[in-house]
């Protein structure tokens, strides 16, 4: 096989939150590469839409409408995937969500919901799916969708960021604990990727007409903070996940790959309005653009 050709032919991938945004982008990319797809999704229309697209690509799809905040439903999801396909090769722990407010204004109910969707769902899914990968004896790949917030301070998003940091840590430990079974465990850390959730369309069918419009000033401020000067798109997360799930990354385990247009490298440096790099609006250092 051409080393640049990646094929997941015959493999089975479970994608949580697979009906919208980054999960949908990953589901469709893995299906294009040959995988059959299990879509765990809370919005029925989204689950059905991705299921239909996977089938149109000639793969099998199992859309499961469920709540990733419920560990019993997660056990049922993995049992359904096993019943339907008899194997699981890939698990993408993508379901997540955030609402922003200072920690001291956040209720205990809100912390717990953040922890359930962003962290416990990953634990429960890994706990249920990894034994099926081990039973298959073919190895496997687990990809956890963290965030650049997992490696930096995140005012107004303290619990979300702590969950993502926990995800990065858990990834490293699982990379060791599952290595003897040929299961690789890695993270993607996206930033500024255009998705329904990021654009304020968290529920119901994906409707770009409902997406929050940014003012030109807000758009400009965002773009000056991203070295590649554009937002990311879900297909880019899809291709990075395909890399981490495929033979192309056979010797890679326990890493976190930023998908962020360079923001983690920038680490606070932004383009000033005059185009020069600066650590704070109004201050300039050197003349490079």
Q: How many helices (H) and strands (E) does the chain have?
A: 9, 9
Long-range interactions of 68-72: CB distance < 8 A, separation 24+ = 68/16, 68/17, 68/40, 68/42, 68/95, 68/117, 68/121, 68/125, 69/113, 69/116, 69/117, 69/120, 69/121, 71/120, 71/124
Site for ligand NAD in 93-132 (CB under 6 A): 94-97, 117
Residue 63 lies near ligand NAD (rule: CB under 6 A) = no
Backbone phi, psi, residue 146, to 5°: -90, -135
Minimum distance from residue 218 beta carbon to ligand NAD (Å): 15
Site for ligand NAD in 130-149 (CB under 6 A): 145, 147
Residue 146: closest CA among 273, 264, 230, 287: 264
Nearer to ligand NAD, 162 or 278 (CB): 162
Please identify which residue in 53, 172, 181, 202 interacts with ligand NAD, judged by CB under 6 A.
202
How far is Cα 39 from Cα 95, in angstroms, rounded to an integer? 11
Nearer to ligand NAD, 193 or 225 (CB): 193
Q: How many residues bind ligand NAD (CB under 6 A)?
A: 30
Cβ-contact 168, 146 below 8 angstroms? yes
Part of the chain binding ligand NAD (CB under 6 A), chosen from 52-60, 76-84, 89-97, 268-276: 89-97
Part of the chain binding ligand NAD (CB under 6 A), chosen from 15-23, 30-38, 135-143, 220-228: 15-23
CB count within 10 Å of CB 131 equals 14
Part of the chain binding ligand NAD (CB under 6 A), chosen from 13-21, 135-143, 209-217, 274-282: 13-21
Minimum distance from residue 181 beta carbon to ligand NAD (Å): 25
Sign of CA dihedral 239, 198, 186, 25: negative
- Please indicate whether residue 160 is annotated as part of the active site: yes
* Tokens standing for residue 6: 């990646």
Minimum distance from residue 258 beta carbon to ligand NAD (Å): 10
Residue 41 lies near ligand NAD (rule: CB under 6 A) = yes
Among left, alpha and beta (phi > 0; psi -120 to 50; other), residue 203 is: beta
DSSP 8-class letter at 120? I
Residue 80 lies near ligand NAD (rule: CB under 6 A) = no
* Tokens standing for residue 12: 């089975």
From 119, 157, 160, 170, the catalytic residue: 160
Residue 68 lies near ligand NAD (rule: CB under 6 A) = yes
Minimum distance from residue 289 beta carbon to ligand NAD (Å): 26
Active site residues: 160
What residues make contact with ligand NAD under the rule CB under 6 A?
A: 17, 19-23, 40-43, 46, 67-69, 94-97, 117, 145, 147, 190-193, 195-198, 202
């Amino acid at each position: 096989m051409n080393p640049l050709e990646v094929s997941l032919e015959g493999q089975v991938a479970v994608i949580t939150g697979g009906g919208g945004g980054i999960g949908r982008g990953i589901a469709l990319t893995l299906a294009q590469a040959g995988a059959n797809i299990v879509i765990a999704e809370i919005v029925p229309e989204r689950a059905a839409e991705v299921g239909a697209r996977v089938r149109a690509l000639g793969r099998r799809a199992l859309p499961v409408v469920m709540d990733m905040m419920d560990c019993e439903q997660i056990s049922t999801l993995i049992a359904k995937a096993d019943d339907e396909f008899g194997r699981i090769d890939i698990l993408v722990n993508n379901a997540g969500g955030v609402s922003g407010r200072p920690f001291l204004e956040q209720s205990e109910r809100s912390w717990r919901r953040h922890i359930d969707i962003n962290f416990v769902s990953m634990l429960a899914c890994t706990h249920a799916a990894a034994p099926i990968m081990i039973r298959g004896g073919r190895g496997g790949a687990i990809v956890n969708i963290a965030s650049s917030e997992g490696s930096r301070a995140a005012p107004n998003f303290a619990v979300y960021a702590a969950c993502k940091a926990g995800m990065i840590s858990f990834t490293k430990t699982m990379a060791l604990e599952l290595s003897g079974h040929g299961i690789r465990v890695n993270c993607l850390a996206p930033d500024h990727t255009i998705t329904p959730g990021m654009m304020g369309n968290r529920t119901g069918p994906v409707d770009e007409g409902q997406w929050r419009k940014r003012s030109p000033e807000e758009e400009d401020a965002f773009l000056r903070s991203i070295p590649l000067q554009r937002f990311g798109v879900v297909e880019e997360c899809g291709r990075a996940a395909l890399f981490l799930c495929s033979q192309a990354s056979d010797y890679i385990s326990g890493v976190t790959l930023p998908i962020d247009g360079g923001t983690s490298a920038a680490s606070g440096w932004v383009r000033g309005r005059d185009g020069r790099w600066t650590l704070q609006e109004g201050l300039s250092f050197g003349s490079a653009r």
